[in-house]
Amino acid sequence: MNKDIFNNTEVAFAIKTDAELEKAYWLFKLIKNEPLVKLGTGVTKFALKHHFPVEALIKTTVFDHFCGGVTEKDTLSLVDKLYNKGIYSILDYSVEGAENDETFDATMQKNLELIEFAKNRQEMPFAVFKPTGMGRFAIYEKVSAGEKLSDSEQAEWDRVVQRYDTLSKAAKEADVPLMIDAEETWMQKAADDLVEEMMRRYNTEKPIVFNTLQLYRKDRLDYLKSLHQRAQKEGFKIGMKLVRGAYMEKERERAKKLGYDDPICVDKAATDKNYNDTMAYMVEHIDDMSVYAGTHNEDSAIYLTELIEKHDLDKDDKRVWFGQLLGMSDHITFNLAKIGYNTSKYIPFGPVKDVMPYLIRRAEENTSVAGQTNRELQLLAAERKRRKL
């Protein structure tokens, strides 16, 4: 398939009104300015910390573009619009960074509600949560390092395990696959081991619990291959979401500061190869696993369509998914959906203040990823011209 398919802006922006298109264009114009993004995120953090009334401004700019609403019900009109274009939705309760059991239990309860919410809606094929939504970063870090836990820490970790199990069991009973995001390397081993245990318990017939591989990490394909060996031996299926990763600068700074090998691929080309090699491995072993390719990279999206064709799979084989974040890469999502592939949008939602860490990452990511914002602007400009705005 030719990459020219992604230049069809009429399809890409089909659900955007003229006003929404204009707003998106000027938002990406702002995001393109790196000093402005750094200043803006700094001022926003300060304003929220000191309770200045900036939420309304955030709500009408970045929040409305990158998020589906404050509650899951707010997202439903968007979900319907997407589904009318053949695009599925994944609701992501994007509250993170909590530090107490009360909040973790509340987040777990919200995710149980979302599993139930998705249960009878074919337009919502997955549920998702973030590891630090279920427990403190520091406890994951300590378990990952193999440090001895105090009695109270062990009890705390047992509660984290129980939350994962409660959600995984609910996902299995509802037949709604559950994706678990990945975070920083120094806490990820604990999350990986825990998700693997959930796969062992609940993925006996098909992939229900999905882990996430950040493929800017050099070690992830080897990790997948070793997991595959265990899965074959022990009789469980693997579900994986593939992403490139969102913490590169932080990872590199920490490795340099503490004097250990940089865990990140040497450059973008190496990351792209790692991503594509991992997709190829998964499609090659599709009878044992299910792949969700979360990518804004046009070449990787095209490559996955070629792998589907090479292995003689149907375009809509439910073991292979494409996914992009709301507000980004509509030209990939909408154009792939138009020709029959399983495509989805990740739709974050939650109180404005609580989703700010997510929004700041999106702004920084669009500023730092070479070409991402320019491509968005080029496509938005082409559609403005087509509509004669």
Per-residue three-class SS string for the chain: CCHHHHHCHHHHCCCCCHHHHHHHHHHHHHHCCHHHHHHHHHHHHHHHHCCCCCHHHHHHHHHHHHCCCCCHHHHHHHHHHHHHCCEEEEEEECCCCCCCHHHHHHHHHHHHHHHHHHHCCCCCCCEEECHHHCCCHHHHHHHHCCCCCCHHHHHHHHHHHHHHHHHHHHHHHHCCCEEECCCCHHHHHHHHHHHHHHHHHHCCCCCCEEEEEECCECCHHHHHHHHHHHHHHHCCCEEEEEECCCCHHHHHHHHHHHCCCCCECCCHHHHHHHHHHHHHHHHHCCCCEEEEEECCCHHHHHHHHHHHHHCCCCCCCCCEEEEEECCCCHHHHHHHHHCCCCEEEEEEECCCCCCHHHHHHHHHHHHHCCCHHHHHHHHHHHHHHHCCC
| pLDDT at residue 123, rounded to an integer | 96
**CA separation for the pair 7, 385 (Å, rounded):** 13
pLDDT at 186 over 70: yes
Overall average pLDDT of the 68-94 stretch: 95
Please work out, in degrees rounded to the nearest 5, the angle formed at the alpha carbon of residue 55 by the alpha carbons of 54 and 56: 95
CB 293 within 8 A of CB 325: no
Residues 179, 128: Cα–Cα separation, whole Å:
5
Tens of pLDDT, residue by residue over 95-120, are: 766 689 999 999 999 999 999 999 98
What is the Cα–Cα distance from 335 to 33, expressed in whole angstroms?
A: 28
Residues 173-212 as b or e (16 or more Cβ within 10 Å = b): ebebbbbbbbbbbbbbbbbbebbbebbebbbeebbbbbbb
Mean pLDDT, the chain, integer: 92
Paired tokens of 145: 């390092």
> What are the residues whose beta carbons fall under 8 Å from the beta carbon of 360, sequence distance 6 or more?
41, 44, 45
Tell me the per-residue pLDDT of 300-357, one tens digit each, with 9 for 90 and over: 999 999 999 999 999 999 999 999 999 999 999 999 999 999 999 999 999 887 887 7
Q: What is the C-alpha separation between 172 and 12, in angstroms, rounded?
A: 34
pLDDT per residue as tens digits for the range 128-182: 999 999 999 999 999 999 999 999 999 999 999 999 999 999 999 999 999 999 9
Q: Are strands 127-129 and 87-93 parallel, antiparallel or unpaired?
A: unpaired
Percent pLDDT > 70 in the chain is 92
Phi, psi (degrees; rounded to nearest 5) at 299 = -65, -40
pLDDT exceeds cutoff 90 at 223: yes
- pLDDT value of residue 36: 60
Closest CA to 118 of 109, 128, 108: 128
Where residue 3 falls among pLDDT bands split at 50, 70, 90? confident
Radius of gyration of the chain (CA): 20
Model pTM score: 0.94
**Domain ranges across the chain:** 69-357
Q: What is the mean pLDDT of residues 215-229?
A: 98
Residues 48-68 pLDDT 10s: 676 777 677 777 778 889 899
**What whole-number distance in Å separates Cα of residue 191 and Cα of residue 157?**
11
Residue 280: which pLDDT band, with cuts at 50, 70 and 90? very high
For residue 317 the two structure tokens come to 């084989």
Confidence class for position 389, pLDDT limits 50, 70, 90: confident
**Cα–Cα distance measured from residue 365 to residue 49, given in angstroms and rounded to the nearest whole number:** 22
Output the six-digit token pair for 242.
């593939």
**pLDDT at 43 > cutoff 70:** no
pLDDT reported for residue 387: 95
Q: Count Cβ neighbours within 10 Å for each residue of 26-36 and write b for 16 or more, e otherwise.
A: ebbeebbeeee
Taking Cα atoms as reference points, which of 92, 178, 192, 96 lies closest to residue 137?
A: 96
Please state which architecture CATH assigns to domain 69-357. Alpha-Beta Barrel (3.20)
User: Residue 92 above 80 pLDDT?
Assistant: yes
pLDDT (tens digit, 9 = 90+) per residue, 202-213? 999 999 999 999
Question: Which of 100, 92, 110 has the alpha carbon at shortest distance from 159?
Answer: 100
